[in-house]
Chain A
Amino acid sequence: MSGEDSSKSRIDLDALLLMGLPMREGVVPPLPSGATDDASWDEHADAIVQKLTGVARLGATSAADRELLSALCAAPSLAPEPGEPSSSSRNAGVTTMSDSDHPKSNSSEAPASIGTRGPVSRQPRPSLKELAERMSKTPGPSSVGPSSGRISAVSTPLPGGATTLPSAASTPLPATRTPVPVPAVTTPLPAPVAAAPEPKSAPISAPPPSAKAPSATITQAAKIAESKPSEAAKEKLAPVVPIESVRAPLPTKTSGGYGGLVVAGLGIAAAAGLFVFLRASNVNKTADNAANKPAETAPVAPPPATEQPDERAAVDTSTAKAAPAPVPSETASADDGTDINKLADASSSAAPTPGGLGALPPASALAANDPKKDPAKPFVPNPDGTLDDAMRDAAGNPINKKPEPASQEATGPKNVPDTPPQGSISAYVGSVMGRAKACVAGADDNSSASVTFGSGGQVQKVTVGGWAAGKSAASCIEAALKGGKVEPFSKPTYGFTVTIRP
């Protein structure tokens, strides 16, 4: 098929997909006999009605028939699509992708005893990777579960109390957790305290009913730990900390570590921003001083800021107190002897291109305030010397920067599609169809309407066909369909036919 044909097909297909519809008003597949006329359909209907004469109504049907009818009147059993939003979460007003991604995780992570954990059950759901790692670390089936790592990490060196542990809790443990000398752990900790940090062990190890006193002890300890998870447990666990630090980190610490990293990252970013701001202020002050003492600066005349290819060089130059050449950041920092420049350079180097967003504002600001750039041009200091003003100056100060021609995107023609977007037309149909249907309420048959839009998106013409044609409903439909519009498009007109069922 040629390209022209393909293009034509695309247009046709869009129309088909939009209305969907090869099957418009009155277009029904022919009967098996090939007939499509009304008489054939009437005969078809008569045949159906005749079949009804011998059909028993619901009350007189057998149990099997009633069951079949129930199934037929129920919603079709269609398998949900992968990725389909679940109806339960939608109904609950909370739609989470994880619900559909991990449909079984809830059940697997919610043992019967999870209700006794309190806050533990509100912990964020572990990722699949995390679960897989834990599963690979847990040797026995008794420790299968999301918190098995915690069990083994804490319960390994249990003291004399270890003898009181149920067998499931003291089952083989990963080798990485064993090398801790037992006496060092056991001596400072009483049995309940040693058992305290393993509240997950009781429910997950699921001691058999035969384990009576020992499991009760553990459970009590676990309850104590759960009742005061943040106070008693932490205080009493304090001596354990060095031992734990020798071992593999606890899962809770792992998850908290990410949070710590995030907080640390935010802190560093905030500090960097503060340093950049302080640095810019210092530079402004330096520039002010330089403006007051222009003779002291070197008579270097770099190109204007708007044409300078490397604005970072301008920053470094000005910061380095007018070094004769584009000075790298190391030179500048060596001059200042402070960390501010390092941080500023680091932040500016984060943007790979000179015009990057990360480097542009301070560099442009400094370049705009640099009195050396154009000695003939009077330096206009910022009224209040703030960074905002510096950025404003760099961005659009008419004194320092000539107005650039507007970009092509801003001045070019708008990207108007050839035809109205499908979403726009769908929205139009959805908005007017209710009123149009109201016009044909109680009608015997369908009506159709050909709607023609002008390029501005407004309805130009509506031609009503089908049942409503020639009736008062036609004007009603026309008015209804003219009550909306689509998005503008480039073609002179665009039209389609819509079916209006009663």
Chain B
Amino acid sequence: MAGASDRELIERARAGDADAFGLLVRRHQRRIYRLAAHLTRSAPEAEDVTQETFVRAYQALDRFDGRSEPFTWLYRIAVNLSLNQIRARKSKLRRSTADDPRILAFVAETRPTVGDPAGASDRRRIAEALYDGIDSLSETLKTTLILVCIEGMSHDEASKVLGCPEGTVAWRIHEARRKLKAFLAERGYGGEVE
């Protein structure tokens, strides 16, 4: 069953195979969690969103019509839940970079080699500036940017998740990148503003 496609797993889960859905969870939970972490900027909330995403997806298995890929369907649910989470808390979340899961992941990814502490510090500052810039974007641009540039979705896949034309996704990515570059340039990074 490990080699089964997502669609096959969905079909089996529809038929009552809980293991199939469990495999689907194992296959996609990290991506969903990563997406939620980037949207909510909170590890606990991202975990909640991840669990809720799969629970809701399981409840709505019969609603999945198979026209899109299962993972885009899961992404859509996760995006909706993340946005609900963000909107529910309004602006009360102002976290420090110390517990920002994105920063933590970035630092873990770019773990400095021995003898390069200055480089590590620079990379952390870059990450903070980058995520500050992403957070400064509107909800629309940020969501689209995360889906495409961080989750690695194609424009077509992102358009299916967001329910908008592919051209709109492309426009949003262009706009988000432009604003992000301008933001970073203001902070002394880059210096080239489109």
Contact = CB atoms under 8 A, between A and B. Distances in A.
A and B are interacting partners? yes
Contacts of B81: 72
A58 B61 contact: yes
B55 A55 contact: yes
B130 interface: yes
Contacts of B79: 76
A48 interface: yes
B159 to A, nearest CB: 10
Interface string A47-81: 11101110111110100010011111111111111
Given A29-B43, A72-B56, A81 B172 contact: yes
Interface residues of B, number: 84
Given A78-B162, A442-B3, A28 B33 contact: yes
A6 interface: yes
A84 B191 contact: no
A65 B149 contact: no
B190 A9 contact: yes
Interface of B is mostly: helix
Give the interface centre of A27, A28, A79, A442 by most chain B CB atoms within 10 Å: A28
A87 B122 contact: no
Interface string B173-194: 0010100110010001111100
A31 B140 CA distance: 26
B180 A17 contact: yes
A150 B189 CA distance: 57
Interface stretch (A38-46, A134-142, A314-322, A469-477): A38-46
Contacts of B189: 6, 9-10, 13
Interface of B: 2-5, 18, 21-22, 25-27, 29-31, 33-34, 37-38, 43-44, 46-47, 50-51, 54-56, 58-63, 73, 76-77, 79-81, 83, 101-102, 104-106, 108-110, 122-123, 125-127, 130, 138-141, 143, 145, 148-152, 154, 161-165, 167-168, 171-172, 175, 177, 180-181, 184, 188-192
Given A42-B26, A57-B58, A84 B18 contact: no
Interface string A299-316: 000000000000000000
Contact of A31 (B43, B59, B80, B143): B43
Contact of B154 (A12, A90, A430): A430
A395 interface: no
Interface of A: 1, 5-6, 8-10, 12-14, 16-17, 19-24, 27-32, 36, 41-42, 44-49, 51-53, 55-59, 61, 65, 68-81, 83-85, 87, 90-91, 430, 433, 441-442, 444-445, 498-499, 501
Contacts of B154: 430, 433
Contact of A45 (B29, B56, B62): B29
B105 A23 contact: yes
Given A17-B181, A29-B102, 11 more contacts: A10-B190, A19-B152, A20-B145, A20-B150, A27-B105, A41-B29, A51-B51, A58-B63, A69-B56, A72-B60, A79-B140
B162 A75 contact: yes
B59 A79 contact: no
B57 to A, nearest CB: 9
Contacts of A441: 5
A32 B50 contact: no
Given A49-B21, A73-B63, A21 B29 contact: no
